[in-house]
Amino acid sequence: MEDIREVEKLVATDRCDVCGAQAYIRVQMDSGELLFCAHHGNANKTKLQPLVINWHDQSEELNKK
């Protein structure tokens, strides 16, 4: 589901729209974008999939810390 367009990397100040934790997933849709922590991104992925233009997942960064 990753789009080939260049996507700006999420940084520590990007926060999950659900809980405020650090965002690791950016979801781009026609209506705008949502930011999620890894937990909420994975929890909502199935529901959002039909609307997604680009699903940018940086959750592999969690293992580097």
Residue pair 16/7 in contact (Cβ under 8 Å)? The answer is: no
Percent of the chain with pLDDT over 90: 77
CA distance 12 to 31: 24
In terms of residue numbers, what domain contains 57? 1-65
Exposed/middle/buried for residue 52 (C-beta within 10 Å: 0-12, 13-18, 19+)? middle
Global pTM value:
0.84
* 31-60: pLDDT as tens digits: 999 999 999 999 999 999 999 999 999 998
With a cut of 90, say whether residue 62 has pLDDT above it. Answer: no
Q: How many domains does one find in the chain?
A: 1
